[in-house]
Amino acid sequence: MKKQMGPVEGPPSELIDKAIAALDGDWRGETLARIRKLIHEAVPEVVEEWKWGIPVWSHDGILCTGETYKAAVKTTFPKGASLDDPSGLFNSSLEGATRRAIDFRQGEAIDAAAFKALIQTAAALNASTKKTSKKRA
């Protein structure tokens, strides 16, 4: 099922607000809003972006994206294969060499502590990669 494309103009945080509002009363909008809140709690300095018609959260590089599908809200971590996932949150894109994703389905509880820890781990990886890149220059 193709993901819903969101609004196309405006500041990224407003575009994310509009994407969530467009799903008003739908479990996917509530889930995306919850994920967004947890990301901000995990990394208060997170930068919200709008790329490829979807929300993107970054801190020294992309942490994850938020995509809405008919049956799931997917958060894709572009460097997910390099992240420790002791709680086993990753349940999608497991065959890839670099990416990993979490599909949140209707009625499933979000393990807030584990998700925030994963976001913090992604931010730490991005920060360490950034520092390593600068040293090479």
Query: Whose CA is closest to 101, among 83, 126, 128?
Result: 83
DSSP state of 9: S
Q: Rounded to whole angstroms, how far apart are CA atoms 110 and 47?
A: 22
pTM of the model: 0.88
Tell me what pLDDT residue 134 has. 54
**pLDDT tens for each residue of 25-54:** 899 999 999 999 999 999 999 999 999 999
- 């390593």: which residue's tokens? 132
Indicate the helix (H) or strand (E) that contains 55.
Answer: strand 54-58
Instruction: List, for the chain, all residue ranges whose pLDDT scores fall below the cut of 70.
Output: 1-8, 131-137
The domain 12-131: what is its CATH number? Answer: 3.90.1150.200
Domain ranges, ordered by start, for the chain: 12-131
Are 90 and 100 in contact, with CB atoms under 8 Å apart?
Answer: yes
